[in-house]
């Protein structure tokens, strides 16, 4: 077209060309952002608008055999901070942290750190967990002032009876590095998740845990919740039904607590199948101190507890209770004549060394008298007659020196004492060792649970059951996912009548002599005391027993150990009496 | 509609309005209306915005009609009156205006606010064009340029007093384009461009150096430049150096028997120094938020929650929209407030998120069509004035387009520049419609005046 005006139109053509070029560059960049990089930006947009809050599933409950709740859950709230996307002034964050920490009663700097972290990463953080419902109620006030606060309902572990069976139940705590590296990847474990740290809580973590729920929220740039996009409900963990008899456990705990030292262990078993009816280890602890409400004042939270489970980890010489083994060895070899009598002058001389009896029992001491009085002289002589290797053999028949196989971590196996053991260690066996062995002193070591299994084996005439404490596990749908099957580890085959003689002797111990402290009217109690010499302090007291109603098979076996209790008859037997009475429901 | 495309040349010659521009601005305005509606849904003051926009739309249509029907040559004849009117308006806003968002640039009339700077932008083009055609014979002389600058300076000065930085950012480059189209001597144009660029680039360079001190350590050149912003000794040294260098070049040229007027060398040295001092001035005047914007532009990822946040969130919005978009009123980035200034400067992000690549390319295409048509109508113009006015309007919308789109795609710093027709802003909409009404007026009178 011919120009009507007098301008150089090529200049305008340049500019138009420039505009086309700019348009092309812009179009290219738009295609890059909106088409090529679309998925990357979509992810970023989704990350902006959504926040995931996890809801810890209620842990499975732990119940006693009578249905008593030993570990349950309480409603507890978590306070989340949903970050704001626009940079807020440092002053605002300061006052935010101050007010929130005042409300929670927690450290301001820690809250400030969490707020800054959330603002930096854009991900919600839990400012506080385990807030009591009472405290959460007053929370609305704070929410009016500050955006981005969100209160989420959840549960926390709660132990209604406090320290009850604490060593068996265990306690909850934060994850260690090892656990995190194993399970951290799964959706159910996050950095602030609590896990079982000992006992049943640890051993059955997988069953108790359940599946955590998640709340997918849509939030705006200020961290205000707009709506719930998705609400994945949690699935509660499985309930664990234990074999623990609440009354027996309670009686045993009270017994140990009221003993002269308050330290010791009690293990009670059902001799018919090995079910653990009570397992006490003192000193104990209150597992609730690890899971307090955030606003609860907690004086005990010094968090150093005795995790040492004396019942399965404490090793002590069985002392006079071992005389039962020496007696069985005598009967089994035929070298024990029940009519033979001896005289106790309070000591015996061997190889120019004096071996003392704990008393002077005089003339006419036969096997039953020897058991009743726990006369050391009688058993020194019996031991010499039977021979140390036979006694060692009987120990091994009763699985001394082996773990009982209870499903708890850290069980000790004890120590067998005898000539072959010495030979294995390439040292010599002396005559004096035989004397020490026959009364259960020396290098022989047993755990309280081994003692209880021994008592149960005597009660059921030779069946060694593996002790177990889980009756069944029932999942959230009510389906039984595990049921205990009694596990017979070994049968002790002895000559006809040996168990009856031993039972008779043990009954006479309780009825007439050293075990009188364990007598219960109307119940046949069979038991043996033991006083373990302790070079470091007071002697330890043992009592092992089994019991039955008259005319019935024995259905209760118990081992009581009182650390520094001075004597088995004085310290341990009365506790056994309380426990037996509790089991049979005798006031 | 369709059969009109096939009408005879005779009809086209008699046509009084360019349908393509009419179509483009109408579609853009409708598009803009719905985008604003979507962008402000959920905002506490959303209803106010929509109400104002609904009032502005017919006013803008009236402005378009006025621009079209009114003979554009009257602006030329009365350019002194126009000039006085504009200065009076800008002065009045300083006295009677209200302060909003840190700048005193609004008249408040009842429930409507007016921003005179928007009208002034078009008026400046009208006045500038008038001046240039009056000095058409001397267009290639430096005297014309100086007079032109003196003419514009009071307008810019009053705008800077408000202060309305973004208005200058759009108008100044548009005036440069106008000068280029008017046929200014290419050498002077380059000098002007160099001056403008050095005034803009020095502050950016200093900000860059403050962000990357390690770059300075490794280079004496950068070190010296970095020191220049603060050390008068270095400034004096630089001036001497440039002068000495200038005379040395002059001497060299003489040796090779290339005779160039010393004036040119002096002009180059002078421009570099003037640009540098202007840069120094701009650098000192820059407010913290403006410096932060420059920082965010230079290093957008260094602090995604800080100043770079705006652009990043806008890009996330556009990118997540994909090709087809999330649907009108369904953009999460905009609706949940992640995109800042979502109904004004960053409205393109809302558009991109909700209507996708198709929407953004469509708006871009409409802008290109407007520019092409405006340039075409300029060539149809029956007089120089119409030609230059079209060139100036072309320049303004060209600058709007590259600055607003460029800001979103990350090739320009954030300068608070809206996207006309799409962004919320009644004054801007009215002024833009008036501008294209003037273009239509040039079209309408392409044959009648000679």
- In chain A, what residues touch B315 (CB-CB under 8 Å)? 33, 41
B195 lies in the same domain as B169: no
Please give the structure tokens belonging to residue B369. Answer: 């069509």
Q: Which residue of B311, B320, B322 is the best one to mutate when testing the A interface, meaning the one whose CB has the most A CBs within 10 A?
A: B320
- In chain B, what residues touch A222 (CB-CB under 8 Å)? 337
Nearest CA in chain B to A31: B357
- In chain B, what residues touch A8 (CB-CB under 8 Å)? 183
Q: Does the beta-carbon distance from A7 to B356 stay under 8 Å?
A: no
- DSSP per-residue string spanning A28-91: HHHHIIIIITHHHHHHHHHHHHEEEEEEPPPPPPEE-TTS-EEEEEEEEEEEEEPPPSSPPPHH
Nearest to B356 among A5, A34, A222 (CB): A34
Residues of chain A with pLDDT under 70: 1-6, 86-88, 183-187, 295-304
Nearest to A26 among B337, B386, B405 (CB): B405
Q: What is the ipTM of this complex?
A: 0.88
User: B322 CA to chain A: closest CA distance, Å?
Assistant: 5
Instruction: Identify the residue with better confidence: B130 or B304.
Output: B130
Q: Does the beta-carbon distance from A7 to B388 stay under 8 Å?
A: yes
Evaluate if residue B187 carries a pLDDT over 90. no
User: A300 CA to chain B: closest CA distance, Å?
Assistant: 43
Q: Does the beta-carbon distance from A16 to B409 stay under 8 Å?
A: no
Read off the pLDDT band of B125 (50, 70, 90): very high
Please state which of the four CATH numbers 3.30.420.40, 3.40.710.10, 3.30.70.890, 1.10.10.10 is assigned to the domain occupying A252-287+313-584: 3.40.710.10
CB pairs under 8 A between A and B: 159
- In chain B, what residues touch A29 (CB-CB under 8 Å)? 409-411
B240 lies in the same domain as B355: no
Q: Is residue B4 part of a domain?
A: no
Nearest to A15 among B181, B367, B368 (CB): B181
B339 lies in the same domain as B411: yes
User: A90 CA to chain B: closest CA distance, Å?
Assistant: 13
Predicted local distance difference test score (pLDDT) of residue A501: 93
Q: Is residue B17 part of a domain?
A: no
B179 lies in the same domain as B190: no
Q: Does the beta-carbon distance from A38 to B411 stay under 8 Å?
A: no
Predicted local distance difference test score (pLDDT) of residue A455: 95
Cα–Cα separations (whole angstroms), residue A242 to A64, A201, A238, A246, A426: 5, 12, 13, 10, 45
B189-220: b or e for each residue (b if 16 or more CB lie within 10 Å)? bebbebbbebbbebbbbbbbbeeeeeebeeee
Domain count, chain B: 2
Radius of gyration of chain B (CA): 24
Q: Does the beta-carbon distance from B305 to A29 stay under 8 Å?
A: no
- In chain B, what residues touch A40 (CB-CB under 8 Å)? 319
Q: How many CB atoms lie within 10 A of CB B112?
A: 14
B119 lies in the same domain as B220: no
Evaluate if residue B131 carries a pLDDT over 50. yes
B356 lies in the same domain as B376: yes
Radius of gyration of chain A (CA): 35
Please give the structure tokens belonging to residue A413. Answer: 């196996």
CA distance A577 to A55: 47
Q: Does the beta-carbon distance from A85 to B332 stay under 8 Å?
A: no
Q: Does the beta-carbon distance from B177 to A15 stay under 8 Å?
A: yes
Predicted local distance difference test score (pLDDT) of residue B230: 64
- In chain A, what residues touch B177 (CB-CB under 8 Å)? 15
Q: Does the beta-carbon distance from B337 to A29 stay under 8 Å?
A: no
CA distance A154 to A227: 19
Read off the pLDDT band of B139 (50, 70, 90): confident
B113 lies in the same domain as B154: yes
Nearest CA in chain B to A227: B336
B403 lies in the same domain as B261: no
Evaluate if residue B160 carries a pLDDT over 60. yes
Q: Which residue of A13, A26, A217, A224 is the best one to mutate when testing the B interface, meaning the one whose CB has the most B CBs within 10 A?
A: A26
- In chain A, what residues touch B323 (CB-CB under 8 Å)? 34-35, 38
- In chain B, what residues touch A1 (CB-CB under 8 Å)? 379-380
- The average confidence (pLDDT) of chain B is 84
Provide the 8-state DSSP code for A539: P
- In chain B, what residues touch A120 (CB-CB under 8 Å)? 305
B193 lies in the same domain as B241: yes
Q: Is residue B235 part of a domain?
A: yes
Average pLDDT of the segment spanning B299-317: 73
> Number of C-alpha atoms within 13 angstroms, CB side, residue A46?
9
Q: Does the beta-carbon distance from A23 to B401 stay under 8 Å?
A: yes
Please give the structure tokens belonging to residue B67. Answer: 């621009």
Q: Does the beta-carbon distance from A4 to B180 stay under 8 Å?
A: no
Give the tens place of pLDDT for each residue, A143-200.
Answer: 777 888 888 888 889 999 988 999 999 988 888 777 777 765 566 787 778 888 888 9
Evaluate if residue B1 carries a pLDDT over 60. no
Cα–Cα separations (whole angstroms), residue A545 to A248, A403, A554, A568: 14, 20, 10, 12
Where is mean pLDDT largest: A192-196, A431-435, B70-74, B185-189? Answer: B70-74
Give the tens place of pLDDT for each residue, B239-285.
Answer: 778 778 877 877 887 777 776 667 777 777 777 777 777 777 777 77
Please give the structure tokens belonging to residue B306. Answer: 């800080």
User: B309 CA to chain A: closest CA distance, Å?
Assistant: 8
User: A16 CA to chain B: closest CA distance, Å?
Assistant: 7
- In chain A, what residues touch B406 (CB-CB under 8 Å)? 26
Nearest to A34 among B136, B357, B378 (CB): B357
Question: What's the CATH fold of domain A50-242?
Answer: Penicillin-binding protein 2a (Domain 2) (3.90.1310)
Q: Give the residue extent of every domain in chain A.
A: 50-242, 252-287+313-584
Q: Which residues pair with B257 in a beta bridge?
A: none
Helices (H), A283-399: 310-313, 323-333, 367-373, 376-386, 388-397
- In chain B, what residues touch A36 (CB-CB under 8 Å)? none
Long-range contacts of A123-126 (CB under 8 A, 24+ apart): A123/A51, A123/A83, A124/A51, A124/A52, A124/A53, A124/A80, A124/A81, A124/A82, A124/A83, A124/A150, A125/A80, A125/A81, A125/A83, A126/A78, A126/A79, A126/A80, A126/A81, A126/A192
B174 lies in the same domain as B44: yes
Please give the structure tokens belonging to residue B165. Answer: 């930085």
Instruction: Identify the residue with better confidence: B313 or B268.
Output: B313
Average pLDDT of the segment spanning B213-234: 65
Q: How many CB atoms lie within 10 A of CB B88?
A: 12
Nearest to A45 among B332, B371, B402 (CB): B332
- Residue ending a domain, among B228, B259, B286, is B286
Nearest CA in chain B to A42: B320
Please give the structure tokens belonging to residue A449. Answer: 């649970």
Q: Does the beta-carbon distance from A33 to B337 stay under 8 Å?
A: no
Provide the 8-state DSSP code for A5: S
Nearest CA in chain A to B365: A23
- Residue ending a domain, among B236, B258, B286, is B286
Nearest CA in chain B to A118: B305
Q: Which residue of A1, A2, A3, A4 is the best one to mutate when testing the B interface, meaning the one whose CB has the most B CBs within 10 A?
A: A4
Q: Is residue B374 part of a domain?
A: yes
- In chain A, what residues touch B360 (CB-CB under 8 Å)? 30, 34
B266 lies in the same domain as B122: no
- Residue ending a domain, among B265, B286, B307, is B286
Q: Which residue of B316, B375, B401, B449 is the best one to mutate when testing the A interface, meaning the one whose CB has the most A CBs within 10 A?
A: B316
**Domain encompassing residue B247:** 185-286
Nearest to A9 among B316, B379, B398 (CB): B379
B257 lies in the same domain as B353: no
Q: Is residue B11 part of a domain?
A: no
Q: Is residue B12 part of a domain?
A: no
Token pair 């035929």: residue: A334
């Amino acid at each position: 077209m011919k120009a009507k005006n007098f301008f150089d139109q090529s200049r305008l053509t340049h500019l138009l060309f420039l505009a086309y070029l700019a348009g092309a560059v812009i179009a290219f960049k738009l295609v890059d952002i909106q088409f090529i990089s679309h998925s990357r930006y979509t992810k970023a947009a989704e990350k902006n608008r959504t926040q995931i809050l996890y809801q810890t599933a209620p842990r499975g409950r732990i119940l006693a055999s009578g249905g008593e709740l030993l570990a349950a859950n309480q409603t507890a709230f978590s306070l989340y901070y949903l970050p704001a996307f626009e940079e807020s002034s440092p002053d605002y964050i300061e006052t935010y942290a101050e007010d929130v920490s005042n409300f929670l009663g927690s450290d301001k700097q820690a809250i400030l750190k969490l707020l800054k972290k959330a603002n930096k990463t854009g991900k919600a953080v839990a400012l506080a967990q385990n807030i009591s419902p009472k405290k959460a109620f007053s929370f609305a006030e704070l929410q009016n002032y500050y955006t981005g606060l969100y209160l989420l309902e959840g549960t926390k572990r709660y132990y209604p009876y406090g320290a009850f069976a604490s060593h068996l139940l265990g306690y909850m705590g934060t994850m260690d590095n090892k656990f995190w590296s194993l399970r951290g990847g799964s959706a159910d474990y996050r950095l602030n998740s609590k896990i079982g740290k000992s006992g049943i809580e640890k051993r059955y973590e997988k069953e108790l845990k359940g599946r955590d729920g998640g709340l997918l929220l849509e939030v705006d740039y200020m961290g205000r919740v707009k709506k719930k996009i998705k609400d994945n409900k949690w699935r509660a963990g499985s309930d664990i039904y234990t074999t623990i008899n609440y009354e027996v456990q309670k009686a045993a705990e009270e017994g140990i607590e009221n003993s002269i030292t308050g330290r010791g262990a009690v293990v009670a078993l059902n001799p018919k199948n090995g079910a653990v009816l009570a397992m006490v280890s003192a000193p104990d602890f209150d597992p609730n101190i690890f899971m307090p409400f955030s606003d609860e004042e907690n004086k005990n939270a010094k968090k150093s507890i005795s995790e040492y489970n004396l019942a399965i980890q404490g090793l002590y010489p069985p002392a006079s209770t071992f005389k039962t083994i020496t007696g069985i060895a005598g009967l089994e070899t035929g070298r024990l004549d029940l009519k033979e009598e001896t005289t106790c002058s309070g000591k015996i001389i061997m190889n120019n060394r004096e071996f003392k009896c704990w008393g002077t029992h005089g003339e006419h001491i036969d096997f039953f008298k020897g058991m009743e009085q726990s006369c050391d002289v009688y058993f020194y002589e019996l031991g010499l007659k039977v021979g140390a290797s036979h006694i060692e053999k009987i120990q091994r028949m009763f699985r001394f020196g082996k773990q009982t196989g209870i499903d708890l971590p850290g069980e000790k196996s004890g120590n067998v004492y005898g000539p072959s053991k010495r030979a294995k260690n390439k040292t010599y066996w002396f005559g004096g060792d035989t004397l020490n062995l026959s009364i259960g002193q020396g290098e022989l070591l047993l755990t309280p649970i081994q003692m209880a299994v021994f008592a149960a084996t005597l009660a059921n005439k030779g069946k060694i059951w593996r002790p177990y404490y889980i009756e069944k596990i029932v999942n959230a749908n009510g389906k039984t996912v595990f049921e205990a099957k009694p596990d017979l580890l070994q049968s002790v085959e002895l000559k006809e009548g040996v168990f009856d003689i031993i039972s008779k002797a043990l009954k006479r111990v309780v009825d007439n002599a050293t075990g009188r402290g364990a007598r219960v009217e109307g119940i046949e109690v069979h038991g043996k005391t033991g006083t373990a010499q302790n070079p470091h302090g007071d002697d330890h007291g043992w009592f092992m027993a089994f019991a039955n109603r008259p005319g019935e098979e024995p259905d209760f076996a118990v081992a009581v150990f009182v650390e520094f209790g001075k004597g088995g008859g004085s310290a341990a037997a009365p506790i056994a009496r309380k426990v037996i009475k509790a089991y049979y429901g005798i006031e | 509609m369709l059969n009109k495309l096939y009408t005879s040349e005779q009809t086209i010659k008699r046509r009084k309005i360019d349908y393509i521009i009419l179509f483009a601005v109408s579609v853009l305005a409708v598009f803009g209306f719905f985008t604003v509606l979507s962008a402000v849904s959920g905002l506490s003051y959303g209803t106010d915005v929509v109400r104002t926009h609904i009032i502005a739309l017919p006013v803008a249509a009236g402005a378009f009609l006025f621009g079209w029907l009114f003979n554009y040559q009257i602006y030329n004849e009365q350019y002194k009156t126009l000039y006085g009117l504009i200065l009076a308006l800008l002065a009045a806003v300083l006295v009677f205006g209200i302060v909003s968002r840190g700048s005193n640039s609004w008249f408040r009339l009842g429930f409507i606010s007016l921003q005179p700077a928007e009208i002034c932008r078009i008026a400046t083009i009208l006045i500038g064009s008038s001046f240039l055609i009056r000095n058409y014979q001397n267009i290639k002389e430096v005297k014309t340029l100086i007079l032109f600058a003196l003419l514009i300076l009071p307008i810019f000065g009053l705008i800077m007093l408000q202060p309305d930085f973004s208005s200058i950012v759009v108008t100044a480059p548009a005036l440069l384009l106008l000068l280029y189209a008017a046929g200014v001597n290419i050498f002077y144009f380059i000098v002007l461009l160099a001056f403008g660029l050095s005034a803009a680039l020095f502050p950016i360079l200093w900000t860059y150096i403050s962000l990357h001190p390690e770059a300075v350590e490794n280079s004496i050149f950068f070190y010296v430049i970095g020191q220049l912003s603060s050390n008068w000794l270095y400034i004096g040294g630089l001036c001497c150096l440039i002068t000495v260098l200038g005379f040395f070049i002059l001497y060299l040229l003489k040796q090779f028997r290339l005779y160039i007027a010393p004036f040119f060398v002096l002009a180059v040295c002078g421009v570099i120094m003037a640009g540098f001092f202007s840069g120094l001035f701009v650098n000192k005047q820059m407010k913290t938020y403006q410096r932060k914007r420059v920082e965010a532009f230079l290093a957008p990822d260094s602090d995604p929650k800080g100043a770079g946040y705006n652009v990043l969130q806008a890009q996330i919005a556009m990118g997540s929209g994909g090709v087809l978009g999330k649907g009108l009123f369904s953009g999460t980035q905009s609706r949940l407030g992640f995109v800042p200034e979502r109904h004004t400067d960053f409205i393109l992000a809302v558009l991109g998120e909700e209507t996708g690549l198709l929407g953004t390319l469509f708006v871009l295409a409409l802008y290109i069509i407007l520019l092409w048509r405006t340039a075409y109508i300029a060539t149809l113009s029956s007089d120089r004035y119409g030609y230059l006015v079209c060139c100036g309007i072309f320049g303004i919308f060209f600058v709007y387009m590259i600055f607003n789109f460029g800001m979103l795609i990350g090739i320009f710093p954030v300068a608070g520049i809206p996207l006309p027709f799409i962004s919320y802003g009644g004054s801007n909409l009215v002024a833009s419609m008036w501008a294209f009404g003037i273009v239509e007026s040039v079209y309408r009178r392409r044959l009648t005046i000679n």
